[in-house]
Structure 1
Amino acid sequence: MTTHTTMEVEPYFYRLTDAQRIEVVRCLAERFEVSPSEIAKAAGVSKTAVSKWLRGLAAPQVDKLSAIHGAMPDAVAKCLPQPAPTRVEVDLALSVVARALGDPALKEYVLAQLESLLPGQVKREIAYRVSREDVELFRGKLKAEGLSAYSVAARVRYLVKFLNAVGWILTPENLQRVYAVESPNVAQKTAMALKKFIKAVVRARDPAAAPLLYDAFRLPKVKARGLHAADAGGGEARVGGGAQDIAVRRRHMGHHGRDWR
């Protein structure tokens, strides 16, 4: 007596509509050039039945499609329609992307892939979120350079004071605010601490963002008529008037091309 075993049917096939199952068979014939005879043999049906599938007059039953899948799994897998992602799958994917963006080694790759998948829809933000660990690393690097305890404490103090003012996030726009402080001396020392921090810490953590942040320290071009006083030798220049004066010392602002190395 012949025993017929029940073929295991892929659960996913049950979710396909008649039209989708027909398209799978058409894909095999058109994209992979599988002949009607080969499809009929794999499904265990006649060529007439396959002809009806290809013409859209009938749809292959789930067990027949599963049999074809068993005979040519790779081709069938590539012909199957992609199911709509679930909310859980989307949340999981986003959590993975978020973790990858936090890894300097993967960040550029992830952004490049997103830009490729979503052309014109991905806007890169030049920003670096500073952590307490970063500050302690900065303190350690300053000590390693042989600076005095006073100098180390002073640079860290200027850095932290600025970070508190900008929410511990460095952006080119935020860094321009260093020159809006009232005292040129404080602006100078704060800028020096920030530039040192970017070169010593940010460059290692986020190589792509570091030079762009450092570049924010370049002196903005100012029209001559807006200067109340300017020292041709690199002295102090004031723009505007009253409480909104912005005082800077040109010789301390540096230049991206010369200082960044």
Structure 2
Amino acid sequence: MLIDVTKLDEEQRKRILKKLIDKLGLTLAAKMLGVGRSTLYRYVNTNQSIPLEVVKKATEMLAPDELSDAIYGLKVVEVDATTALSVVIKAIKDEKFRNFFVSILYQYLGDYLKSASSTYIVTEEDVKKFEKSLQGKSKSTIDMRIRYLRMALIRLSYELSPDGIRDLLAELSEESSNIARHTANSLKLFIKTVVKEKNLQLAQLLYNSFKVPKSKYKYKPQPLSVDTLRKIFDSIDHLGAKAFFLLLAESGLRVGEVYSLKMDQLDLENRIIKVMKESETKRAYISFVHKETKEWLQGVYFPYREEFIRTYEHVVKQIGADVEAWKQKLFPFQLADLRASIKEGMKKVLGKEFRLYDLRSFFASYLIKNGVSPMIVNILQGRAPPAQFQILQNHYFVMSEIELQKIFDEKGPKLLSPK
């Protein structure tokens, strides 16, 4: 990579030579640069001016990431979205700059890029193309495939990723192995006919990342403890991911349910999450948040979320997205980004990853171990089908929201310590 050394100040030139000495040692670096050992020592330890030809030779011996460290370090500067977009445009047009830019991105954001590169964002045009590819099949088959695909896309927020699909199939298998099987088949067919044409490598990754359930799903969740989850929570850097992880662990709700929440579904005054979503197989009633979680969301997460929206609102407008709908989301971030940051926290604590779906299993196990009736757990997690719930409510079981919340407060897992 070529660097215009005439634009480097003396301090940057000195750091480049120091980086080369760190890499090769003083003797070998001096030999490679064609200068004496004592001369090179003076260049990096005194105010003696460094010749441009020496600096140029040094830049040619350093990798792009090493040059970046030497020239820029990790200094944080204010960069708005317009500047960021201009950098991307320059990378598209300038091959040498692009090589440098990409190498730096992978050095510092490798995990995020890997997560993003394994995610396919589905458009309405993709769905129409899929429907068109089904022509020739019976109307009932077409309707079934489209119905299951749309249901999956809604719950996945139109983001197809290996982790997202596997979590979804685990959740569906909990409800009905038949629904899980039809959903998996529809997703496989969609990936094969639509995604493959646009991105062969990504299509292969997605297609091979999950299997079609043939019977009841046999997945053994990771054994987790409150102490482990607290450590992971503390290790997550992204405040949006931190809040997302907190609600998943403490509410026992499904990943898609929490990610799809809108601001008006979170009643912090009464500490209630109003999921209010019904289907033929589940009744997601309401869940709750602990007092400590309420205070953390108000004092830490919401200010961060508001600043994020203020910063990027004009970018969302520029790309033609529905700004108002985006602003109403409790988590206005890419799900892949949240997952990547949480996984990074998991690896810091455990040295490995587990599925976000395991937090739902953890919640159920924790409550049952603390003496809560499995029936109550099913109600809190929206697992009781509407008809069954209605029978329980009307004939055998009467419990108010206040009583449910009391059980949640006393028996539910808490990641945050009381102040």
Q: TM tier, shorter chain? A: 0.3 to 0.5
TM-score, normalising length from structure 1?
0.47
Of structures 1 and 2, the one with the larger relative CO (CA 8 A, separation 6+) is: 2
TM-score, normalising length from structure 2?
0.33
Comparing both structures, which one devotes a greater share of its residues to helix?
2
